[in-house]
């Protein structure tokens, strides 16, 4: 078979070292961001050569800095208090679900402590079901805590960097870009490195107990993915409801009814809106991508543990998924330097290309990295478990699996950009349709969203076919990892968007020059498109991850084939395909009802606070923040319960075959709705920004702000808000979470599931 070049000892050194390098790089970027001071004395002496716009326009520099610091503090406090409230509720759920995992898995063999025959190698003895229950519960808690910490750290750095980005915008768009991008990189690298390090340490600690029982060890590790994704679900849904309730309320009353600019300090919902960017787009997105990363690693490790890597105890081959992630951190580190150190942005039009170059450079470098890892860490040929038989696979075939996932991610990213950036005709057509009112805008936007599904689905389909043909389910799991291997760069680009958005809001509220607002708007517009690209990556990787987990579940539950023609499976398919619609209905309605309260409150303040419109009185920001917080905490529980309880109920009462139908149905319909919802919302948002910017003759003919086409565009944008920031992004968690949960509980379902069919 030909041994790998890299020894086990080298693997044990390389993985933690790469993770530590990632964390160190994040801290260096954070130190560089913190050199921008939020106090006046240091700003005055901070680089005397830097020419500030305020000096030219005679605006009091000291007041501007003080105001920026005040607004940043208000946003930071709002975000922190919301996340603490959310985590208290989620903590209760985490404890309850950890107990459920222990009870369900422990009861498989009646809480016996005796060793049992292994699931796949009946001639060998494996650790007891009770041990699996205890260790699965521990890894679930570890995954949940890592997910929460990832989201929280991301939010902290974003709220730390927003005002600093605003202040740097006075010196030029390049300086502001670097500050925002570096801050995003802090989050990206911390998350990628922490996720890898905690997983690696967990595997090594579990190995002390499990010894040679790798099958049991890696089955217990799947709890890590479940913990990560279950926290991400609440973060995404809760944060999404929070941010969109505030956004819709601020836009409808502020822009449409009162004709005041976005982020105007007179608008009572403006602080809640800026807080929402951090808790939804940053903390939610961070937890979401961490969940994808943890699950794809777990799916690959489970399949590898019953292939030749696990059977022959080849530790380096076993750690192939972790080695890919380790190389990914180094590749992303080099890629980040291209944006912050090697090239400088001098003009607004260079921002979006710089962000796109990040994706292309990281993908190109990563392809070489994957080739290196595949050649050094894998034997020349080995066997992979494929539904009961061992399939012989060569190392170059595995390279192609990872590479096709990586490049499919890039394709999905660029197709998403084409459909959501206002530089291209699809969004310009949507903007043009605003001439005849909001109805035609909505029709064009929906059509764009449906059409934007076509190429990403083909990209996912091709990568699934190729990777499965080459290396069975393991191929699909590593293809998902390939898509997520550049997660640090992907997250840096993604977090950059909300940081720039906040920076623009702070500039408006602090009463800065319109030229600074133009710069922050340019940063924000590029961030909007990159956020859509990030969502495309998240959805694409979720489809592959979910399928890999589905394959692992089918193997673990001892189902030989999933036959669509059997009624048990077909009813599952129908119900599974319906679940994303039910889930979307819940989240959309939640945003709608929360926004209703917000609109009423904003109207009340405008009508009852004397001098508010004239700027003589301050609005009551705290009430609006409270409305968003209360609504999101209350409303995130039903959708979360739907996703978490469905696999348990279906598996227990209807059995593994029906559950396999539910998982397949949810995957197939969930991916389509998620892509179309995200892209429709993104296109409406950028159509509105296209009209507002008035950068071309066509855009000028539709504007200015406050014109009828602009009002129609604002209505489209408002409808798209819950689609692109609540329902769409949460759906990818739905399909992953149900699959990983089914895998974790598979031993119980295989032994005791299908109660209803047993009775009748």
Judged against a pLDDT cut of 80, whether residue 734 lies above it is answered with yes
Judged against a pLDDT cut of 80, whether residue 584 lies above it is answered with yes
Q: Are 463 and 694 a contacting pair, CB within 8 Å?
A: no
Question: Taking CA 147 as the corner, what is the angle to CA 269 and CA 181, rounded to the nearest 5 degrees?
Answer: 60
Q: Are 639 and 591 a contacting pair, CB within 8 Å?
A: no
Q: What is the pLDDT of residue 3?
A: 66
Q: Are 753 and 655 a contacting pair, CB within 8 Å?
A: yes
Stated as kind and residue range, the H or E segment containing 125 is strand 125-126
Helix (H, G, I), strand (E, B) or coil at 718: helix
Residues 81-87, mean pLDDT to the nearest whole number = 90
Judged against a pLDDT cut of 60, whether residue 42 lies above it is answered with no
pLDDT tens readout for residues 392-451: 889 899 999 999 999 999 999 889 989 998 889 999 999 999 999 999 999 999 999 999
Q: What is the pLDDT of residue 696?
A: 86
Helix orientation angle between 438-451 and 708-722, rounded to the nearest 10 degrees: 40
Q: Are 390 and 307 a contacting pair, CB within 8 Å?
A: yes
Q: What is the pLDDT of residue 54?
A: 45
Between CA 101 and CA 220 the distance in angstroms is 11
Q: What is the pLDDT of residue 204?
A: 93
Instruction: Please report, for residues 53, 394, 469, 554, 555, the alpha-carbon distance to residue 561 in angstroms, rounded to integers and kept in the order given.
Output: 68, 26, 17, 8, 10
Judged against a pLDDT cut of 70, whether residue 533 lies above it is answered with yes
Name beta bridge partners: 277: none
Judged against a pLDDT cut of 70, whether residue 47 lies above it is answered with no
745 or 561: which leads in pLDDT = 745
Q: What is the pLDDT of residue 171?
A: 87
Q: Let me know if 574 is exposed, middle or buried by CB neighbors in 10 A (0-12, 13-18, 19+).
A: exposed
Residues 489-511, mean pLDDT to the nearest whole number = 89
pLDDT tens readout for residues 546-567: 999 998 898 888 787 888 889 9
Q: Give every CB contact of residue 622 below 8 A, 6+ residues apart in sequence.
A: none
Q: Are 259 and 266 a contacting pair, CB within 8 Å?
A: no
- The DSSP letter of residue 386 is E
Chain Cα centroid distance, residue 132: 29
Judged against a pLDDT cut of 60, whether residue 45 lies above it is answered with no
pLDDT tens readout for residues 320-374: 999 999 999 999 999 999 888 888 888 888 888 888 888 899 999 999 999 999 9
Q: What is the pLDDT of residue 56?
A: 43
Q: Let me know if 760 is exposed, middle or buried by CB neighbors in 10 A (0-12, 13-18, 19+).
A: exposed
Strands (E), 348-388: 381-386
The DSSP result for 636-701, as a single string, is THHHHHHHHHHHHHHHHHHHHHHHHHHHHHHHHHHHHHHHHHHHHHHHHHHHHHHHHH--SHHHHH
Least confident residue range of 51-55, 223-227, 325-329, 647-651: 51-55
Judged against a pLDDT cut of 90, whether residue 675 lies above it is answered with yes
Q: What is the pLDDT of residue 40?
A: 55
- SS3 for 392-430 is EEEHHHHHHHHHHHHHHHHHHHHHHHHHHCCCCHHHHHH
Judged against a pLDDT cut of 70, whether residue 2 lies above it is answered with no
Residues of the chain above pLDDT 90, percent: 50
Cα first-last separation, the chain:
51
Which of 121-125, 325-329, 628-632, 744-748 holds the top average pLDDT?
A: 325-329
Q: Are 540 and 416 a contacting pair, CB within 8 Å?
A: no
Judged against a pLDDT cut of 50, whether residue 46 lies above it is answered with no
Name beta bridge partners: 204: none
pLDDT tens readout for residues 191-249: 999 999 999 999 999 999 988 888 889 989 999 999 999 999 998 899 989 988 898 88
Helix (H, G, I), strand (E, B) or coil at 116: strand
Please state, rounded to an integer, the average pLDDT across all residues of the chain: 88
Q: Which two tokens stand for residue 264?
A: 């105007």
Q: Which two tokens stand for residue 417?
A: 């950009």
Q: Let me know if 70 is exposed, middle or buried by CB neighbors in 10 A (0-12, 13-18, 19+).
A: middle
pLDDT tens readout for residues 694-709: 888 898 898 788 889 9
Stated as kind and residue range, the H or E segment containing 390 is strand 389-394
Between CA 675 and CA 667 the distance in angstroms is 12
Q: What is the pLDDT of residue 48?
A: 37
Q: What is the pLDDT of residue 449?
A: 95
């Amino acid at each position: 078979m030909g041994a790998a070049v890299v020894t086990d000892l080298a693997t044990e050194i390389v993985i933690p070292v790469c993770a530590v390098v990632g964390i160190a790089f994040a801290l260096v970027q954070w130190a560089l961001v913190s050199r921008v001071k939020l106090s006046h004395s240091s700003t005055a002496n901070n680089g005397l050569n830097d020419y500030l716009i305020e000096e030219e326009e005679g605006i009091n520099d000291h007041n501007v800095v003080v105001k920026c610091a005040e607004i940043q503090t208000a946003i930071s406090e709002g975000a922190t208090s919301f996340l603490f409230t959310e985590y208290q509720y989620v903590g209760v759920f985490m404890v309850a679900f950890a107990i459920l995992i222990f009870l369900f898995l422990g009861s498989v063999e009646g809480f016996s402590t005796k060793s049992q025959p292994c699931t796949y190698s009946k001639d060998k003895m494996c650790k007891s079901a009770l041990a699996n229950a205890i260790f699965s519960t521990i890894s679930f808690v570890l995954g949940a805590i890592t997910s929460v910490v990832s989201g929280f750290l991301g939010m902290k750095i974003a709220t730390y960097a927003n005002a600093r980005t605003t202040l740097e915008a006075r010196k030029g768009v390049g300086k502001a870009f670097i500050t925002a991008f570096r801050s995003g990189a802090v989050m990206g690298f911390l998350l990628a490195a922490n996720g890898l390090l905690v997983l690696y340490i967990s595997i090594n600690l579990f190995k002390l107990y499990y010894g040679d029982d790798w099958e049991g060890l890696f089955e217990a590790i799947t709890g890590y993915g479940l913990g990560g994704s279950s926290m991400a679900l609440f973060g995404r849904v809760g944060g999404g409801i929070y941010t969109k309730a505030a956004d819709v309320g601020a836009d409808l009353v502020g822009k449409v009814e009162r004709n005041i600019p976005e982020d105007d300090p007179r608008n009572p919902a403006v602080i809640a809106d800026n807080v929402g960017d951090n808790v939804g787009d940053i903390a939610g997105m961070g937890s979401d991508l961490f969940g994808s990363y943890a699950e794809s690693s777990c799916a690959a490790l489970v399949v590898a543990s019953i292939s030749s890597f696990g059977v022959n105890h080849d530790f380096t081959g076993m750690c192939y998924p972790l080695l890919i992630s380790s190389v990914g951190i180094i590749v992303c580190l080099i890629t980040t330097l291209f944006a912050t150190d090697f090239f400088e942005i001098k003009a607004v039009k260079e921002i979006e290309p710089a962000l796109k170059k990040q994706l292309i450079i990281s993908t190109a470098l990563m392809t070489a990295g994957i080739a290196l890892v595949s050649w050094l860490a894998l034997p020349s040929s080995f066997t992979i478990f494929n539904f009961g038989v061992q399939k012989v696979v060569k190392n170059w075939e595995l390279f192609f699996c990872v590479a096709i996932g990586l490049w499919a991610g890039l394709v999905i990213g660029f197709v998403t950009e084409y459909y959501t950036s206002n530089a291209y005709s699809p969004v310009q057509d949507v903007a043009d349709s605003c001439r005849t009112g909001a109805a035609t805008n909505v029709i064009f936007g929906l059509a764009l969203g449906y059409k934007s599904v076509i190429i990403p689905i083909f990209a996912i389909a091709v990568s699934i076919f190729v990777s499965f043909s080459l290396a069975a389910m393991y191929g699909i799991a590593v293809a998902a990892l390939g898509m997520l291997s550049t997660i640090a760069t992907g997250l840096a680009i993604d977090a950059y968007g909300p940081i720039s958005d906040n920076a623009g809001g702070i500039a408006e509220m602090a009463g800065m020059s319109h030229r600074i607002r133009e710069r922050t708007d340019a940063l924000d517009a590029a961030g909007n498109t990159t956020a859509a690209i990030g969502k495309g990556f998240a959805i694409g990787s979720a489809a592959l991850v979910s399928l890999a987990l589905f394959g692992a579940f089918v193997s673990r539950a001892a189902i030989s084939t999933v036959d669509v023609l059997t009624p048990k499976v077909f009813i599952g398919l129908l119900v599974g395909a319906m679940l994303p619609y039910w889930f979307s209905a819940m989240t959309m309605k939640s945003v709608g009802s929360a926004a209703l309260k917000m609109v009423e409150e904003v109207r009340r303040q405008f009508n009852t606070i004397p001098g508010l419109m004239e700027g003589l009185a301050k609005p009551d920001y705290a009430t609006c923040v409270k409305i968003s917080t209360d609504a999101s905490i209350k409303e995130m529980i039903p959708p979360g319960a739907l996703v978490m309880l469905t696999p348990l109920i279906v598996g227990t009462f209807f059995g593994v075959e029906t559950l396999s139908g539910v998982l397949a149905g949810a995957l197939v319909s969930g991916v389509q709705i998620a892509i179309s919802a995200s892209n429709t919302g993104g296109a409406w948002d950028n159509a509105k920004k296209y009209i507002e910017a008035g950068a071309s003759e066509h855009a000028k003919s539709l504007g200015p702000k406050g014109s009828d086409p602009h009002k129609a565009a604002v209505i489209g944008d408002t409808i798209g808000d819950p689609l692109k920031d609540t329902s769409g992004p949460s759906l990818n968690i739905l399909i992953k979470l149900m699959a990983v949960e089914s895998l974790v509980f598979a031993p119980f379902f295989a032994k005791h599931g299908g109660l209803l069919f047993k009775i009748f």
